[in-house]
Amino acid sequence: MKLTLKVWRQQNSQEKGRFETYQVSDVSKDMSFLEVFDVLNERLINEGKDPIAFDHDCREGICGMCSMYINGRAHGPWDETTTCQLHMRAYNDGDTIVVEPWRAAAFPVIKDLTVDRTAFDRIIQAGGYISVNTGNAVDANAIPIDKHDADAAFAAAACIGCGACVAACKNSSAMLFTSAKVSQLALLPQGHPERKQRALNMVAQMDKEGFGSCTNTGACEAECPKGISLTNIARLNREVLVAGLSSE
């Protein structure tokens, strides 16, 4: 296949960016989307040009590092698929593909398609944990947990922290990400002692980082590569409400 790639190039966070157009040929259907960038970068290096910087590591859809906004969709056209798992079978000869970084005030561009997502770490630091020191634990089977709750907690915990939900949202809200962690811990008995403070603190941190507010458009859920459900946002809202009431 021959493809046209229009890629966002930006030297660093200060400079203004622009689109650059590249023609790539010999793209096979078996290639992953990132492998097309590998091949293009190899060519750019050979031509003495600056290769395109993009984040990636596991290339298995689990580390959450890859993050490309492809033809107007976070992680591209396939549902529940990260950029690294997207394969060129999704495209046809002659297609034009526009590739941009995540765009959100809370995710400043570092270079080209690479952005700074440390705001997510700080949201977790605000309460996304259970305060249990190493060695404090009771036997793992001492607290049976309803399988449905355990499964629901797992489904929420599957979030990979990629930030596609933020990129997909017109308000750049981080509600889906934050609610996934709050839900996971609220669904498990171990998480109960701290649940009120957790919800309030994590939401406060989210606001402080400059993420927008949630207006229930559902764009986040639609683009989330891990199928994190909107019910988590409903649960977070409930947690915040209950915590707010009881702290009054």
**What is residue 195's three-state secondary structure?**
helix
Q: Which of residues 191-220 bind another protein (CB under 8 A)?
A: 191
- Does residue 58 interact with ligand FES by CB under 6 A? yes
Give the dihedral of Cα atoms 56, 58, 60, 61; nearest 10 deg: -60
Residue 77 to residue 95: CA distance in whole angstroms: 13
**Considering CB distances under 5 to 8 angstroms, the limit depending on partner class, which of another protein, ligand SF4, ligand FES, none binds residue 216?**
none
Q: Which of residues 120-179 bind ligand SF4 (CB under 6 A)?
A: 159-165, 176-177
Q: Which of residues 213-242 bind ligand SF4 (CB under 6 A)?
A: 224-226, 228
Q: Which of residues 5-64 bind another protein (CB under 8 A)?
A: 11-12, 28-32, 34-35, 38-39, 42, 44-46, 48-51, 53, 55-64
Nearest alpha-carbon partner for 175 in 99, 236, 127, 91: 236
Alpha helices in the chain (DSSP H): 33-46, 118-125, 147-157, 164-168, 175-187, 195-208, 219-223, 231-247
- Does residue 89 interact with another protein by CB under 8 A? yes
Per-residue binding letters, 70-109, with ligand FES (x by CB under 6 A): ------------xxx-------------------------
**Considering CB distances under 5 to 8 angstroms, the limit depending on partner class, which of ligand SF4, another protein, ligand FES, none binds residue 228?**
ligand SF4
Q: For residue 55, what are its two tokens?
A: 């984040």
Nearest alpha-carbon partner for 109 in 11, 177, 27, 207: 11
- Does residue 158 interact with another protein by CB under 8 A? yes
Residue 58 to residue 76: CA distance in whole angstroms: 18
Chain positions contacting ligand FES, by CB under 6 A: 56-59, 61-66, 82-84
Residues that bind ligand SF4 (CB under 6 A): 159-165, 176-177, 180, 224-226, 228
